[in-house]
């Protein structure tokens, strides 16, 4: 399968715009495009998936082994014509001195030619030494060409192209003028999620038209077709083996403008394990659906706090389910929604009230990035195997909110080894059959959280 890696010299260079536009442009040519995103992002994958017409898959060194990454790439790409991987941060940026978890490392592992998007604002002849340095830094990386973004004028574009043609042999695969109409609204954790905007398709089509006009799609496709086919070790399984079979269960999934952060492969794993997933809206529906359990994922409830408060019957229905012992799993935005109230500036809105605490939105991030956790003896879900010891969990958190004055009697499922969690030391409130945390789990790396949650649901039901 042909594939490309879209990266940049630094974040906010325009690689998401280019990636969204290319997904839709190649889809409109009749190609089956499979999007991928490096790292634990939720928001960019929502846009990429909508543009491509296929769910986006995350590839993440923190939670996945290298073999599993290759297996995921090969598995998700099966039957597709083009794989398009969007990087995160800069091409060579890495927490590892040798760049073991960088975009460059992932591109080399997948054999993907790299298209480097350059923010050209204020640049001229200096673009040449920048790109010469990027090429020389890792000669083993296949740097296939560049896209010049945020170009001020045709004269500016000509100066940049002349400098690159004189000093380098890197092809210019497109020139995108500076255009504020292509900018998707941003907020404190990145782009506004596509599930929140009725204008998402309008934005995608606008981006698509600009990108299709400005980039050489034929040359990009030829570059992608020169990539080696995806390879995966037979020892690496993807998707992960489904949990043990059991009685069918119905799980309500909060999905609307306030809640939408879910990994598609995790939802597939729940379904493969015997769960019927029932989508519902805490914003719009009058009450929770008739289900055996709830999964309240992340999102931006703070932007819908007025509507969430106004939906009193939904809040009371969820509080009643929790009080009656229904199994509930909540991550980040779900945790916020389950507390007594949500405060943003001087405004306070009532939430579900199942957890005895307030949540306050802060100006600065309270937790952002990878986390490492250790399960405590209070972790409520059954172990992956009989007699298995509490395990360390690799996950991630992204939140500007903080739990204010958490109940001193709370029991916690996790000890925080790296990250912030609820109080800097602990995460994962356990209250009856409820588990609510800031950490976002993903069912990779042998974690099998979906299988353990389903076992918890069935145990609660006596099934």
Q: Do 274 and 309 touch, CB atoms closer than 8 A?
A: no
Is 339 one of the annotated active-site residues of the chain?
A: no
pLDDT in tens, 263-286: 999 999 999 999 999 999 999 999
Rg of the chain on CA atoms, in Å = 23
**Helix or strand holding residue 270 (H, E):** helix 264-272
In the set 80, 120, 332, 339, the catalytic residue is 332
Q: What is the pLDDT of residues 204-223, one digit of tens each?
A: 999 999 999 999 999 999 99
Judged by DSSP in three states, 184 sits in coil
Neighbour tally for 107: CB within 10 Å: 27
* Residue from 308, 282, 313 nearest 295 by CA: 282
Nearby residues of 430 by Cβ (< 8 Å), 6 or more positions away? 378, 379, 380, 410, 411, 412, 413
Among residues 259, 263, 262, 310, which one has the least CA distance to residue 280? 259
Chain Cα centroid distance, residue 385 = 29
Six-digit token pair at 250?
A: 């119905």
Residue in the structure block whose two tokens are 């769910």:
55
E strands, 120-258, are: 143-151, 172-177, 186-187, 190-191, 249-254
The pLDDT score that the predictor gives to residue 346 is 94
- DSSP E strands, 17-142: 33-38, 57-59, 82-86, 114-119
Question: Which residues in the chain land under pLDDT 70?
Answer: 181-198, 232-245, 463
Q: What is the pLDDT of residue 210?
A: 95
Q: On the CB side of 436, how many CA atoms lie within 13 Å of its CA?
A: 25
The rounded distance, in Å, linking the Cα atoms of 22 and 207 is: 9
| SS3 label, residue 285 | coil
pLDDT at residue 187, rounded to an integer = 44
Determine the pLDDT at residue 371.
97
Give the torsion sign (CA, 162, 164, 165, 166). Answer: positive
Distances (CA, A) of 88 to 85, 179, 313, 390, 399: 10, 22, 41, 32, 18
Q: Per the structure block, which two tokens stand in for 213?
A: 């006009």
Say what the pLDDT of residue 183 is.
Answer: 65
Tokens standing for residue 431: 């209250």
Give the pLDDT score at 243: 54
Determine whether 31 is exposed, middle or buried from the number of CB atoms within 10 Å of its CB (0-12, 13-18, 19+).
Answer: middle
- Give CA–CA dist 431/380, Å, rounded: 9
Model pTM score: 0.94
């Amino acid at each position: 399968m042909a594939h490309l890696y879209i990266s940049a010299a630094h974040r906010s260079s325009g690689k998401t715009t280019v990636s969204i536009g290319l997904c839709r442009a190649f889809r409109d040519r009749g190609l089956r495009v499979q999007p991928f995103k490096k790292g634990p992002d939720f928001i960019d994958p929502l846009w990429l998936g909508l543009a491509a017409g296929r769910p986006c898959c995350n590839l993440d060194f923190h939670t996945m082994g290298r073999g599993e990454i290759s297996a995921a790439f090969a598995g998700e790409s099966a039957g597709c014509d083009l794989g398009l991987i969007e990087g995160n941060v800069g091409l060579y940026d890495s927490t590892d001195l040798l760049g073991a978890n960088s975009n460059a490392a992932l591109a080399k592992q997948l054999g993907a030619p790299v298209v480097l998007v350059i923010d050209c604002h204020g640049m001229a002849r200096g673009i040449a030494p920048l790109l010469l340095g990027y090429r020389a830094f890792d000669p083993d990386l296949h740097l296939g060409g560049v896209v010049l973004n945020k170009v001020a004028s045709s004269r500016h574009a000509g100066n940049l192209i002349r400098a690159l043609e004189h000093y380098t042999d890197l092809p210019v695969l497109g020139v995108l003028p500076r255009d504020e109409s292509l900018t998707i609204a941003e907020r404190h954790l990145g782009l506004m999620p596509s599930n929140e905007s009725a204008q998402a398709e309008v934005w995608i089509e606008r981006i698509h038209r600009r990108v299709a006009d400005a980039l050489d799609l034929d040359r990009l496709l030829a570059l992608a077709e020169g990539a080696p086919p995806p390879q995966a070790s037979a020892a690496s399984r993807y998707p992960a083996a489904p949990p043990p079979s059991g009685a069918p269960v119905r799980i309500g999934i909060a999905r609307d403008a306030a809640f939408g952060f879910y990994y598609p492969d995790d939802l597939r794993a729940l379904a493969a394990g015997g769960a019927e997933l029932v989508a519902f809206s805490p914003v719009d529906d009058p009450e929770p659906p008739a289900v055996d359990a709830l999964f309240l994922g992340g999102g931006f409830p703070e932007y819908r706090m007025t509507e969430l408060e106004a939906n009193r019957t939904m809040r009371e229905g969820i509080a009643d389910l929790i009080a009656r012992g229904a199994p509930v799993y909540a991550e980040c935005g779900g945790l916020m929604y389950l507390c007594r109230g949500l405060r943003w500036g001087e405004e306070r809105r009532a939430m579900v009230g199942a957890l005895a605490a307030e949540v306050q939105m802060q100006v600065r991030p309270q937790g952002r990035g990878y986390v490492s956790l250790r399960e405590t003896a209070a972790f409520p879900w059954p172990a992956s195997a009989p007699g298995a010891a509490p395990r360390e969990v690799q996950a991630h958190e992204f939140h500007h909110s903080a739990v204010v004055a958490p109940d001193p009697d709370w029991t916690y499922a996790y000890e925080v080894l790296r990250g912030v969690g609820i109080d800097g030391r602990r995460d994962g409130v356990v209250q009856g059959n409820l588990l609510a945390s800031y950490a976002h789990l993903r069912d990779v790396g042998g974690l099998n959280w979906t299988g353990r949650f389903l076992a918890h649901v069935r145990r609660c039901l006596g099934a």
